[in-house]
Every structure is written in C-alpha cells, then in structure tokens.
Amino acid sequence: MPLVTTPAIVLQTYRYSETSKVVRLATRDLGVQSAIAKGVMRPKSKFGAGLEILGEGTAQLYYRETRELQTLGEFELEVLRGELTRDVARFAGATALAEVMLKSAPPAAVPAAYEALVAGLDALVAASACDVDAAAIRALWHLLGVLGFEPALTNCVRDGTPLDPDPTTPVPFSSTEGGAFCPACAPARAPTQLPPQAYRDLVALGSGGGPLPSLDAAHAAAHRRLVVRFARHHLSEPNKLPALDFWEHHRWSVTS
C-alpha cells in the first residue's frame, strides 16, 4: 500500500472507536478523502491536537484507490488559523466553505479547488470586521466555480449574450438555470429579481478579485441567501448542509 504525502486541510472529524477517529480531509493531490486516525484519542497520540477542524498541514496517507476509508499515518500541523475560531462570523464562513468542499469535491486531485479553499480561509482571516460576510460570499462563489458550478453573471445563462443591464431595472436570476438572463431570455416570472446595485455587487463578489463591495447587514443577508440557494440546488443537497444553514440564517455581532 503506497504512502502518499500531500498538503491537506481537516474538514470534519468524528469518533470511530474508543481510541480512533475518522477524519475527512481536503487534499491537494487526492481530492477529498476519508481516513482513520488510529489512536488519536489516546493521551499521548502522535497526532496531538493537529486534527482540529480547519487545521492545515501535511498528511501522510496509506492510500489504496479502491478503498473508501484510507489510513492516516501522520498529520503535521502547519497552519491553525486561530483567528477563525475566535470569531463566530469568520468561523461560520470558514465551515460553510469546508462543507461545500466536503460535499462536492471528488476523491481525485483537483488542485484548483484545494487552492481556492486555502485562499478563502486566508481571506477570512485577513478581512476587516465589516468585510467578513463579503469575503465569505466571494470565497464560496469562487469555490463553487472551480468545482464546476460557476454562475453566469456577465453573460445570459441561456444564450450567452453579454449583459449590459439598465441601471434602473432589476436583473432576473435563477439558481436552477445557473445565472442571470438578458431581457430577451428572461422568463415571465424569474425566481429572483436582483436590484441594480445588488447585481453590481454580485458581479464584484463573483469576480474573484478587486475590492469587496460594501454590504450592510440586510444586503449581506440577501447575498448569503442567494449563494446558499445556488449551492443547495447544484450540490443536490436540499437538507444536509448544516454549516451553510447556520451561516445563512444566524446573526452575530461583528468583531474585529
């Protein structure tokens, strides 16, 4: 059984036995993998405190392609990002990212998805207190796009026409169809009508770069609802995304 060494981030852990845990890892070289960490619950475990959710490091896996549960040989913690665990808004955004990765990334190498997850976590650490929601929303749109679910925001989702909306007219958007519509293709009753400023903010959030738009509490909540609705549809997980549900619906005090 080959030993594979790969950068990895802990997405989830749960108890397997009195002394062991199953760890769900996002890895750069093997995609999302489940592995048993034997003896991790023992007081002098070689894993120490390294297998905490969102911990980033180097994993050594005894890997066999035909197995659904690998064996974790080592995990060397390199980046803990304690700022995420000390701020509920940052932590909620980070765990939402981890959940999307867990539910949608395949058990095969997708380095761009791994790098998008790392970049999203780093952005949440670096964001100012007033930009945490916007940073999380942008990170989620970027990760969804890398995983194959990029929304059509600047071209019509149906016919590809470049969008140049009237600055006073709402832009129709459908999570089901995967993006925004030009006037000629817009359905009579689009599920979502984006006000002009909300559309401009969505384009900025979906761009993956540039300044973050300034979102007050109400607009941040609307953008959270939109990306979660989009993720639920395209990940085919209407009821089993608790981290996204918490991030979407709960309010918290902004802290620095």
In the chain, where are the structural domains located?
3-79, 82-249
The answer, yes or no, to whether residue 252 has pLDDT greater than 70, is no
203/255: higher pLDDT: 203
Strands (E), the chain: 3-15, 21-27, 31-37, 56-62, 69-79, 171-174, 179-180, 192-194
pLDDT of residue 254: 52
What average pLDDT score do residues 3-23 get?
95
Cβ-contact 91, 65 below 8 angstroms: no
Q: Which tens digits make up the pLDDT trace of 124-168?
A: 999 999 999 999 999 999 999 999 999 999 999 999 999 998 889
Q: In terms of DSSP H, where are the helices of 72-175?
A: 82-85, 88-104, 111-126, 132-144
User: Which pLDDT does position 44 carry in this prediction?
Assistant: 79
Whole-number average pLDDT of the chain: 93
Enter the DSSP assignment of 42.
S
256 pLDDT tier (thresholds 50, 70, 90) = very low
The residue that leads in pLDDT, 249 or 25, is 25
pLDDT tens digits, residue range 193-241? 999 999 999 999 998 789 999 999 999 999 999 999 999 999 887 677 9
Domain 82-249 is found in CATH 1.20.120.140: no
In this prediction, residue 166 carries a pLDDT of 87
User: 3-79: what fold?
Assistant: OB fold (Dihydrolipoamide Acetyltransferase, E2P) (2.40.50)
Residue 43 has pLDDT above 90, yes or no: no
Q: What distance in Å separates the CA atoms of residue 189 and residue 176, rounded to the nearest whole number?
A: 13
